[in-house]
Chain A
Amino acid sequence: MIDYLTMILTAAGLFFFFATTLGLLRFPDFYSRMHAAGKGDTLSSLLILSGLALYHLHDPSTANILVAAKILFILVFIFMASPTATHAIIDAGYQSEVKPWTRADDGEGDDDLAV
């Protein structure tokens, strides 16, 4: 039972990692790419790490529970660090006046990475 839960959680995490990485490549400009990079990581790590924590509770000895607790700590820190890092990167872009892509720019240059 726990094995299946772990599998489902890890697979879902990998799917979201894949989808948001694709978004990172496909979105038109710096700002919208940060949407993919910043949010995908958070949920995907949440899913994969909680899958791993569950897996360690398979055989609940003190050592395994401590491992699960450490994984949960990693999760908490990711939750604080990820939005902060996203914000720091996007603010750096805003400060150096990276021009945001708008509807009006569609079809014009600056499409170097479009897939």
Chain B
Amino acid sequence: MYFISTTLILFAFWLVLSGKFDLFHLALGAISSLVVAWMSSDLLFFEQNKKGRTGEALRFLAYIPWLVAEIFKSTIHVAWLALHPAMRERIDPRIVTFKTRLKSDVARAALANSITLTPGTITVRVEEDVFTVHALSDKTAAGLPGGMEERIARIFREEAA
């Protein structure tokens, strides 16, 4: 099952990158996809016995527009600070730590990346369930972990603590 999906993903990738649709190139692509999938289909999908992966992927896709909107806000915020003449009175950086209730590695990685991509915060370090975050001001620090943890918990169907 995972072998087949890995092969299909690799073959689709081959089609896009090669751009040639004659028999020779298609056959080459099919053979290399099969060989690579045979050698490493366990690299693309981990936790292979997990259920509900399709729903998880779909919910994650729905999460992306929200994340892009956050990135917009974040960059506008940083650009505004950078161009502001009295920038130093406007920032009050600090390092904060908090505990997450997310369990799986994938969910924690998603939360860490999302924190980095949202306004005024960067994930410095993740150790087990403790997140260390650098925030540009006390206002952004107070918003942690905010609604993001809940959204990610919903994507990966993790129980709220």
Residues in chain A within 8 A of chain B (CB atoms): 15-16, 19-20, 22-24, 26-29, 31-32, 34-36, 38-40, 42-44, 46, 62-63, 66, 69-70, 73, 80, 83-84, 86-87, 90-91, 94, 100-103, 106
Chosen A-B contacts, 11 in total, with CB atoms closer than 8 Å, are A16-B75, A19-B79, A23-B78, A32-B93, A35-B78, A39-B117, A40-B75, A40-B79, A63-B19, A87-B112, A90-B124
Q: Which of B16, B83, B123 contacts A70 (CB 8 A)?
A: B16
Most A-side CB within 10 Å, residue of B68, B92, B116, B132? B116
Instruction: Using A100-B93, A102-B92 as known contacts, say yes or no to A66 and B78 having CB atoms under 8 A apart.
Output: no
Main secondary structure of the interface of B (DSSP, over half): helix
Question: How long is the Cα–Cα vector from A31 to B71 in the complex, in angstroms?
Answer: 18
> Closest CB-CB distance, A78 to chain B, in whole Å?
11
Chain B 120-143, CB-CB to A under 8 Å as 1, else 0, gives 101111000000101010000000
> Closest CB-CB distance, A114 to chain B, in whole Å?
9
Please tell me if the beta carbons of B16 and A90 are within 8 angstroms of each other in the complex.
Answer: no
Q: How big is the B interface, by class?
A: 20 to 34
Residues in chain B within 8 A of chain A (CB atoms): 16-17, 19, 68, 71-72, 74-75, 78-79, 81-83, 87-88, 91-95, 112-113, 116-117, 120, 122-125, 132, 134, 136
Please tell me if the beta carbons of A94 and B125 are within 8 angstroms of each other in the complex.
Answer: yes
> Closest CB-CB distance, A24 to chain B, in whole Å?
8
Residues of A within 8 A of B81 (CB): 23, 27
Instruction: Using A43-B72, A91-B124 as known contacts, say yes or no to A86 and B79 having CB atoms under 8 A apart.
Output: no
> Closest CB-CB distance, A11 to chain B, in whole Å?
14
